[in-house]
Amino acid sequence: LKPMQQQQGRIQGKTLIITGPGSGIGKETALLFAEEGAQLVLVDIKEDGLQQLAAKIRRSGGCCEIVSGDVSQRKTSEIAVETAIKAFGKLDIIFNNAGIMPIGDILDFPEEMWDEVMGVNLKAIFLMCKAAIPELLKSGGGSIINTSSVMATLTEPGYAAYTASKAGIIGLTKEIAVSYAERGIRCNAICPGWVETDINLKLAESMGGIDKLYPIIKQQQPLGR
């Protein structure tokens, strides 16, 4: 890979929607893309986090708008796309990153929670793509990035809903990719392993603390980190 300083500006002037930017991967992506000159629409259910992130981006000279809403609801994706077009006149990139990870044995897992996981992790991507693809086509194409997980193919006990949703993201990503490749839209999934985000730190605390969990994580990684 080229040094980061040689990559800056690749997305200068591009309009980007990010879901789940309140923390973790979404937040760091938003800050980096703003630094590289993108125009951002930030979508999250937690308005306080959105306001703080937007203020930080604007103080640094970046351009962003915020949409507070539940990504599993169709109206949220429609408002996000409308906001992008109204504020910036076009849409180039979608980063479907919002996700939740409740844990529980399938025999005890509430049906309502299963539906919530599927709604936030998987249905939300369908809804955002449905709203955004027409605008990407108007721009001559674009890029869709969906956050899946290594848990889509390698899982552990207690992650039935999360694993199923993340595996579904890979299937949906493939279908969108082959459906729109000839019309200039790229669709890819990223599959992170362990990343030190809020959601994983809470998981670590429930398992005895990060100090106890890190040796186990490192042992599972060929690179040892």
**Residues annotated catalytic, as ranges:** 162
CA dihedral of residues 46, 49, 53, 59 (deg, nearest 10): 120
Q: Please report, to the nearest 10 degrees, the dihedral formed by the alpha carbons of residues 215, 219, 223, 224 taken in order.
A: 30
The two three-digit tokens of residue 190, written as one number: 């990223």
- CB contact at 8 A, 221 and 178: no
Q: Do the bridges between strand 15-19 and strand 93-96 make them parallel or antiparallel, or are there none, so unpaired?
A: parallel
